[in-house]
Amino acid sequence: MAQLQIDEVYPKEKLYPLVINFQNAYLNDNFSEQKCLLLENNETSKKNVVTEICDLVYSGEENEEKLGKTLLLVRNKNTGKVRLLETGSIDMKPYIKTDLEAVQLQETSYLELSRKFGSKKHKKVVEQREKLKVNVETVTEQMQNISQNITEDQLDLSTYNKTDEDSYIPPINREATEASGVYDIDAILPEELYDKVYEEIENSDYLNGLIPMIKAMTTKKLTNKQTVLAVYANSLLNLYSTLMRDIVKKNFVACQYSATLNEIILKNFLGISNLKRIRTPQMKDKSLCHAMVFLLLINNLRFDVEELCQQLKLTMRTVITKIQVTGASIVSLSSKKVAQLKLPLNKPAIRRKSAKF
């Protein structure tokens, strides 16, 4: 076998040979020389070739060679010596220009033919497809025109400053320096409503309608506002335990001792749909969380968790989850679990919006 001795290798320089491969075509003996345009990508330093053959434009970018190099063996006929030249390779692909106007004309013709000669089912499918088409440029222009007229004053940004859990509880001051300042009793109801509700329940037998847990709290001397909150909390706890089949009844009453308080509860803790009362899971949780806050305000910022579980027939885990939303903490006092509002406030666990509360 003949041995070859390599004297010199010519690596790639600024200009170097390129091996061209045409996609879906092969060169034959009848192929003549063609002019081409050689371009270089400034970012990747790769060569790009463009040429025209048989009225068809071909273009291609130099292939990246990671595993090896392409070499050409060139022999001089006169001296018999050969040279090794490092080269690049390019796959040439035909460039086909799409005439958008012709495509749109074809689609229009197809639509007209479908309307005239298509079946009822086919006509319906085609019309639905046409309705779903959207002009992107028109929509973009419309959105830009709308956004230009929007100012910060027209947007209600107040809800963005609240967490999801704050919508379940009365107004809360998480920056308070004392536990007594976390919930402002005057922010729950206006002064005139406190007076009006107290006048309505003062001469009634509301004490007999209180659940044992709240009735025990009223044995202490309460202010007029705390008395109103006691009846308010009792009504919300009863609402939480009431079945939906009873709530939808026309004669349903949330608070029988005060017409004003009854109207407040129906407005804020129930909804209306198709002229019927509805209660979403969020509304139900809201009534329980509000009642817990009221119990804290009338009982020195604490209440017995186990007793509340027995009254509502709920599990300890469910009640503790709701207590966390109010900012209160669970403490052990005389072998009992007690909810106590203290600083720092208890932060509810971070959860996804899709998770159930």
Structure-token match 């970012």, residue found: 43
Cα dihedral 78, 83, 87, 89 in deg (nearest 10) = 60
pLDDT tens for each residue of the chain, 357 residues long: 567 666 676 677 777 788 878 777 677 777 777 788 888 888 877 888 888 877 778 888 888 877 788 888 888 888 877 777 888 888 888 877 665 565 566 666 777 777 777 788 877 887 787 777 666 677 777 777 776 666 555 444 444 444 566 788 888 888 888 888 888 888 888 899 999 989 988 888 888 888 888 888 888 888 888 888 989 999 999 998 888 888 888 888 888 888 889 898 988 888 888 888 888 888 888 889 998 889 988 888 888 888 888 888 888 888 888 888 888 888 888 788 888 888 888 776 544 444 455
Of 278, 303, 307, whose CA–CA distance to 293 is shortest? 303
C-alpha dihedral sign at 320, 325, 331, 333: negative
User: pTM for the whole thing?
Assistant: 0.54
Helix axes 191-202, 224-241, angle to 10 degrees: 80
Q: How confident is the model over 84-116, as pLDDT tens digits?
A: 788 888 888 887 766 556 556 666 677 777 777
Of 57, 40, 37, whose CA–CA distance to 49 is shortest? 37
Tokens of 259: 């017409």
How far is 243 from 232, CA to CA, in rounded Å?
19
Q: How confident is the model over 151-209, as pLDDT tens digits?
A: 555 444 444 444 566 788 888 888 888 888 888 888 888 899 999 989 988 888 888 88
